[in-house]
Structure 1
Amino acid sequence: MAKQENKKNSTKTITENDFGKMPPHSIDLEETVLGQLMLEDDIVLNTIDILKPASFYVQKHQKIYEAILSLTSKREPINIQTVVEELRKSNTLDEVGGPYFIAQLTKKISSSAHIEHHAKLVAEKFIQRELIRVSSEIQERAFDTSTDISELIDFSESEVFKVAEGNIKKAAAPISQIMEDALELIKKAGENKNTYSGEPSGFSDLDKITSGWQSSNMIVLAARPAMGKTAFVLSMMRNMAIDHDIPVAMFSLEMNSVQIVNRLIVSETAIQHNKLRNGDLSENDWKNLYEKTKKLTAAPIYLDDTPALSIFEFRAKCRRLVDKYNIRCVFIDYLQLMTTTTASSREQEVSLISRQIKAVSMELQIPIIALSQLNRSVETRTGNKRPQLSDLRESGAIEQDADLVLFIHRPEYYGLMVDDEGNSTEGLAEIIIAKNRHGATNTVKLEFIPEQTKFTDRNFINQLPDITSDFDTDSPAIQTFASKMNTSKETVFNINPDKPFTPDEMEF
């Protein structure tokens, strides 16, 4: 008996191996959807964003759906007669089984009810088949020992991402539901003790304009090299994490994590960078180092220095960071160093990266601040050399996708030591808000401290003119100056300092 059962199991296994498994599909569901589409003209609008011809497993079903879509694009009615005629025009009527097969599709259907549900089931079967196809290709490449492992990982990520991107859609929602969400956000903003609805940057004048970095926003921060892009981002990260206890993450493609931390230490302790690099610290420096870095060590800052980070890796890492650490803001240093394997040109690659960063910010409902390079036209420009939106490097898509575009401009770097009004530009850093999809554009003035590679709010005292040169520094701190009215014998009012006023002179 046991021998017979073993033989039976063996036969079953051989059968499965010989014939394999059928790909997920449902012919009945596909025929149901096609039949329902020919019952009512407008019902096809409920399936256009769910199904495409390739979603159908049977090839003749694909051709019938293509004919239905063709009729829809020409705004013609959809029924048995029009579909048959459209198939006849494309010489595919016989391939699908002729008019008889088309007529049979509607005979099984009594109404078009639940067509969206049926269409989603057909779409799910297609996604399953696509994942099986992709996994088979990945498996085949993985067995090839000559395949580069990095290329294999990139291929796997991009192919799975294509399946997800092309088939996961968000349905339209009624305004009543969206209104509830909007009112809830307004209510939370009113209950918020802070004055900003978004995540504060720690720079008061900047936050007054932006109300903080808003969720689902993509913010592009661009500047020429040596303007202080990384320093500005690190100052902002420090403000958000230490002063406001906001978990933040930074993807650094230009510097490793240790270098990033060293710059944060310099900013926090004011110890010179070369002293830290050489370890040439005095006893007071060591004391200051340990004391000032306590808050920095405990801050919710997460660093990732993966080189040549792909957009697919970035998406996966962001999801994990949000799930695990509740990250509320992400920084990228910088956008042009990210990679993707699906673009045919550099401009298309940057465009794809920009669009996907925006998609990730919307998916995870967090602001993402991406640093970007500017082209050389800024350097050749005459005058104040202030950057413009047209200076964004390699792709106009960056400007289109971004909710905010900020530029860093330091006139002092270009040797412009006074502004148009004659004020000193020493230490001045202008944050130019060139694009703001949800508010006004403006320019915010900050203080740049090069010794600490640090940005701070610009202190009002720094904007006052230097008047100490008008005084003798060796004289006492308090000085008395006589009024000219007491020394002059004649004034514009003809007043004698030694003679009292008469009643006639006191008309006022």
Structure 2
Amino acid sequence: MQNDTSFQQMMKQMEHQMRQDQDAFVYDNENDKRIHISDPHKALGETFNTHAERMLHRIGRVDNYTWNRDENGGIDTGFTDFNESVDGGLQPGLILFGAAPNVGKSAFMLQMMKQISRLNENVYCEYHSRDDSIYELMPRYIACDQHITISQAKNPKKYADDEEIMRLRNEGLKNLYRYSDRFVMMDAEESPQTIEALEDHIKDLRMNLPEGTRIVLGIDSFYDLQTDKKFGGNQQEEIKYIAKTLKQYAQTYDLVVMCTAHLRKTGNKRPINDDLKENNVIEYEANLLCLMYNEVGIKEEGADIHWISEDSEKKMPVVEVRFSKNKMDSYKGTRFFEFIPEQSLFIQSSEEASKRYSSLIYQ
């Protein structure tokens, strides 16, 4: 008898809640799957106060943000496997690509940003290089875009008699012009020198770009960033401040901020988080940390993880991208990309090839 009474009380509470919900919530006129709160007083009763009102605004802001995400979940990187590893696409936050020199991290980030600028609506990408000049960056873009060599993109007079190379080079140059409103490259001469100047630049972008534009900043490299603040030579505190500030910019201005980061020398070993300089600071602030490794770059013809191109019998590099910290998704693992250095071009490995590379690593 007591159980029957408890069940009846529970049913009455549910019916009462449903009646309240009918008065307190409404469905969106343009989206019958989306709800809005129409009468906070009916939803909360006497407990509605200024604190609850602020929370209601936060809930509405977040729900609006989630409904405005792309259908696939975020910004399309052009790499299907990478998208799947970050819940369908990139979200605002601080992303780090950590690798030893000559692995291909700068080229990887440049290609990803090029693809983002092509595949997504309402995006603006800006690539800041502290290491390479604009005279090196643009030929890499053209080479990657048209699958020609960097030399062919960089030395038109040398290849002027090759009509096909000239056609491809000119098409890559046209694409630089065509997408100049959504993909911009800057070297150290033009790029903001400090993170304080970078914030002023971001504010200027937000003011002048159309409302709703999704901004993606690429910085090569993180350790070349400077600040106006003085830390008395304490490099760890300076790096901590820069990493924390970059993450804050990503949150405050709704940005994707991607940075390359150099690793300590690891010899033949695949990198781990501890190989980042001041690793505890950077790892803590990053929303996504990808560690990259290229066995061919270290062992050359002695490498086990490689691919063979149709044009050459030599071993070609496979770049391993390990998701060692991922707050955008639950995925933790390694994605594989076949790399053509002379074209600055990455090609996502097939599922079969990825399984083979993975088995060689973990055998």
Structure 1 residue 366 corresponds to structure 2 residue 255: yes
Q: Which residue of 2 aligns with 1:302?
A: 184
**Do the aligned partners of 2:127 and 2:217 also contact (CA within 8 Å) in 1?**
yes
Map 1:436-451 onto structure 2 (within 5 A). Answer: 436-440=326-330, 441-451=332-342
**What is the SS of the residue equivalent to 1:432?**
strand
Q: Which residue of 2 aligns with 1:175?
A: 55
In the alignment, residue 298 of structure 1 is paired with which amino acid? R
1:303-329 residue CA offsets vs partner (Å, 9 max, x unmatched): 222358211111111221232234521
In the alignment, residue 339 of structure 1 is paired with which amino acid? Q
In the alignment, residue 306 of structure 1 is paired with which amino acid? A
Q: Which residue of 1 aligns with 2:284?
A: 400
* Alpha-carbon separation, structure 2, partners of 1:464 and 1:398: 31
Shift in alpha-carbon separation, 1:432–1:395, aligned structure 2, 3 A: closer
Q: Which residue of 2 aligns with 1:417?
A: 303
Map 1:142-181 onto structure 2 (within 5 A). Answer: 174-181=54-61
User: What TM-score do the two structures reach when normalised by structure 2?
Assistant: 0.71
**Pick aligned residue for 2:227 from 318, 334, 340:** 340
1:95-116 residue CA offsets vs partner (Å, 9 max, x unmatched): xxxxxxxxxxxxxxxxxxxxxx
**Do the aligned partners of 2:336 and 2:354 also contact (CA within 8 Å) in 1?**
no
* Alpha-carbon separation, structure 2, partners of 1:172 and 1:333: 43
Q: Which residue of 1 aligns with 2:200?
A: 316
**Do the aligned partners of 1:343 and 1:352 also contact (CA within 8 Å) in 2?**
no
**Do the aligned partners of 2:111 and 2:345 also contact (CA within 8 Å) in 1?**
yes
In the alignment, residue 175 of structure 1 is paired with which amino acid? M
**What is the SS of the residue equivalent to 1:369?**
strand
Q: Which residue of 1 aligns with 2:218?
A: 331
* Alpha-carbon separation, structure 2, partners of 1:354 and 1:173: 33
**Do the aligned partners of 2:143 and 2:172 also contact (CA within 8 Å) in 1?**
no
In the alignment, residue 362 of structure 1 is paired with which amino acid? Q
Superposition RMSD in Å: 2.7
Q: Which residue of 2 aligns with 1:223?
A: 99
* Alpha-carbon separation, structure 1, partners of 2:185 and 2:318: 29
* Alpha-carbon separation, structure 2, partners of 1:270 and 1:250: 20
* Alpha-carbon separation, structure 1, partners of 2:63 and 2:151: 53
- Unaligned 5+ residue runs, structure 2? 1-50, 306-313, 357-363
User: What TM-score do the two structures reach when normalised by structure 1?
Assistant: 0.51
**Do the aligned partners of 1:269 and 1:293 also contact (CA within 8 Å) in 2?**
no
Percent identical residues: 20
Give the structure with the larger helix fraction. Answer: 1
**What is the SS of the residue equivalent to 1:447?**
strand
Aligned residues: 282
Q: Which residue of 2 aligns with 1:453?
A: 344
* Alpha-carbon separation, structure 1, partners of 2:66 and 2:198: 31
Structure 1 residue 357 corresponds to structure 2 residue 246: yes
**What is the SS of the residue equivalent to 1:418?**
coil
How many angstroms does 1:395 deviate by?
5.0
Q: Which residue of 2 aligns with 1:239?
A: 115
**What is the SS of the residue equivalent to 2:227?**
coil
* Alpha-carbon separation, structure 2, partners of 1:455 and 1:301: 19
Structure with greater Cα Rg: 1
Shift in alpha-carbon separation, 1:464–1:404, aligned structure 2, 3 A: closer
1:453-487 residue CA offsets vs partner (Å, 9 max, x unmatched): 1112213575699xxxxxxxxxxxxxxxxxxxxxx
* Alpha-carbon separation, structure 2, partners of 1:426 and 1:290: 27
**Do the aligned partners of 1:251 and 1:304 also contact (CA within 8 Å) in 2?**
yes
**What is the SS of the residue equivalent to 2:277?**
coil
Structure 1 residue 252 corresponds to structure 2 residue 129: yes
Q: Which residue of 2 aligns with 1:388?
A: 272
Shift in alpha-carbon separation, 1:177–1:408, aligned structure 2, 3 A: same
* Alpha-carbon separation, structure 2, partners of 1:463 and 1:335: 30
How many angstroms does 1:220 deviate by?
1.0
